[in-house]
Amino acid sequence: MRYHKASEITKPEADSLIAVSGACVTDIIVISHGERWFDVRAMTRPEIEAFVADLAREEIAAENAKTALPN
């Protein structure tokens, strides 16, 4: 995965950030992906979209690795 400004946080940290949301680049504060949470306050909308796309590619690759037939 490429480098992104998002930092992984816990669910309680995400809840706290949402409750006290202050200044951020976009109106998106946190992103959840499965059981993982990410602080994306410093990211622009295109950066967030690229980050989410990378998360999806990572998940697809992991699923494909589970179902791949051994040679």
User: In sequence order, which ranges of 1-71 are alpha helices (DSSP H)?
Assistant: 11-19, 45-67
Question: Residue 24: left (phi > 0), alpha (psi -120 to 50), or beta?
Answer: beta
pLDDT, one tens digit per residue, over 20-30 is: 877 677 889 99
CA-closest candidate to residue 14, choices 38, 43, 48: 38
CA-closest candidate to residue 17, choices 3, 31, 33: 31
CA-closest candidate to residue 45, choices 3, 2, 5: 5
pLDDT, one tens digit per residue, over 1-60 is: 566 789 999 999 999 988 887 767 788 999 999 899 999 998 999 999 999 999 999 999
pLDDT of residue 20: 84
pTM of the entire structure? 0.79
pLDDT of residue 15: 92
pLDDT of residue 1: 59
Domain ranges of the chain: 7-67
